[in-house]
Amino acid sequence: MLFADVSVLDEHFAVKPHQWVAVQGGVITYVGDSDPRGAMAAGCGAATAPAEGDSPVTPPLGAAPATADFGEVVDGAGRLLMPALYNTHAHSPMTLLRGYAENLPLDRWLNEKCFPFEAKMTGDDCYWGTLLACAEMARFGVVSFSDMYYHADRSAQAVLESGMKANLSGALVAFEDKPFSDYPEYAFMEQLGNEWNGAADGRIRVDYNLHSEYLTNETVARDIVALAKEKGLRMHIHLSETAKEVEECRGRHGGMSPVAYFEAIGLFEVPTTAAHCVWVDEADMDILAQRGVFVANNPASNLKLGIGFAPIPRMFEKGVNVCLGSDGMASNNNHNLFHDMYLQAMVYKGATLDPTAVTPQQALRAATRTGALSQGRDDCGLVREGMRADLCLLDVTGPSWCPATDMACNLVYAGHGSDVVMTLCDGQVLYAQGNFPTIDLERAKAECAARTKRILGEL
């Protein structure tokens, strides 16, 4: 595919107009301000001096200039091409809980609503919930997500079929003080890793997870950390989400915060994505920065559940890797990560009384490149030659985009997920102009609606 004469969000998160971007074999092979087909016409890569005042022609990276076929040519007029988004904290099967468990504090939300509903969910329920989540995310320019949930093998099947990427982990609640190997989840995670880690040319990866400090014990936590180290896998965890969680952790562990506790047992020696981190102090943030922990901020979920504001501006100042997540659909209601990116860029200005807190570029990087890095996808998240072709194309001709005094600012403050007209994952089209080539959307919607109705009838 060749995007012709299109505006591009470059690797510095500035917008460049009149660019040409070529995708071949799932990789971005050319980014430049000249039509690469002109380079081919010049003849087998022979150097051709540009006319005075013209920009030099750069041949496609790794392509045979005289014979390369770019396939479909996409007119870039009125379009903006940017890296696709990476959702770094999700519970995708919870699409079945959308609109359920509303207007409740976290404890009641979990114990009275979510846990009883989830106890009724089958593997097939999780498959269809994940498939619908994949469609919704693709619609809004998301190509990859980090997921933590039950029946992760069925979610893996949905991801495989959808063409998306995902880092998947199971869901473990461990109150009994016994080795992790004595829990059924141990065998499940072994099988999940053996069958799915690296599947679909690396689109699917398996992570280990600890739900949280308050739903695990130290024996299990240490065992899982050791396994992740041994297998070279990443970790995914909920961390310091509420003030109550932090207070109770300090009571259980000699005054240590959840961050300090997990540092003490070696968790952060493993590449880790920590969701929320709302109630962290200066010492906690120093640990997160020093250990290279990726903090998955979930602004919509945190606002809806009344949890508070993660100190994101301070994290940026300290060099913490901040990325972005949607959380589950019982605490957010949509997978439109443009909405969450807008909140990340906006709410901290009010929370800190500082209008300079969180720049548009910081918000964009968190939603794209840093998100990809949190999943161990070093070759993703930028529009740059040699990177994987994870891209989304936006229509920027709507009234909210005019005037385009600063297109990057418009992208964060005025853009909408509904502006996405095409989403590509490794060069494969997942969504284009209302069509989902890899997903039967109407069936996924019908299955999810029916399954939610069944579960509600069983409660």
Among candidate residues 50, 77, 104, the one where a domain is terminated: 77
8 with 90, same domain: the answer is no
- Tell whether 111 and 179 lie within a shared domain: yes
The verdict on residue 63 lying in a domain is yes
Residue 237: phi and psi, rounded to 5, are -150, 150
CA pair distance 284, 339, nearest whole angstrom: 28
Q: Give mean pLDDT, residues 309-321.
A: 97
In this predicted structure, the answer to whether residue 63 has a pLDDT above a threshold of 50 is: no
Q: Is 336 inside a domain boundary?
A: yes
Last residue of a domain, one of 51, 77, 103: 77
* Residue 450 neighbours by CB distance under 10 Å: 11
For residue 439, give every residue at least 6 positions away whose Cβ sits within 8 Å of its Cβ, in sequence order, or none: 131, 134, 135, 138, 161, 162
CA distance 20 to 309: 40
Is 425 contained in some domain?
A: no
**DSSP characters for 310-378?**
--HHHHHHHT-EEEE----TTSSS---HHHHHHHHHHHHHHHHT-TTSS-HHHHHHHHTHHHHHHTT-T
> Using 50, 70 and 90 to split pLDDT, how confident is the model at 106?
confident
Residue 409 resides in a domain: no
235 in the same domain as 98 = yes
Q: How many domains does the chain have?
A: 2
- What's the burial of 396, exposed, middle or buried (CB within 10 Å: 0-12/13-18/19+)? buried
Domain coverage including residue 55: 1-77
72 has a pLDDT exceeding 50: yes
Shared domain for 120 and 63, answered yes or no, is: no
Residue 399's pLDDT band (boundaries 50, 70, 90)?
Answer: very high
Are both 168 and 285 inside the same structural domain?
yes
Are residue 186 and residue 66 in the same domain, yes or no? no
Asked whether residue 402 is assigned to any structural domain, the reply reads no
Give residue-wise pLDDT tens across range 417-457: 999 999 999 999 999 999 999 999 999 999 999 999 999 99
Question: For the segment 227-268, what is each residue's pLDDT rounded down to a tens digit?
Answer: 999 999 999 999 999 999 999 999 999 999 999 999 999 999
Among 354, 374, 394, identify where a domain stops: 374
Residue 198 and residue 263 share a domain = yes
DSSP 201: T
> CA-to-CA distance for 410 and 396, rounded, in angstroms?
9
CATH number, domain of 339, equals: 3.20.20.140
Condensed to tens digits (0 to 9), the pLDDT of residues 44-55 reads: 443 333 333 333
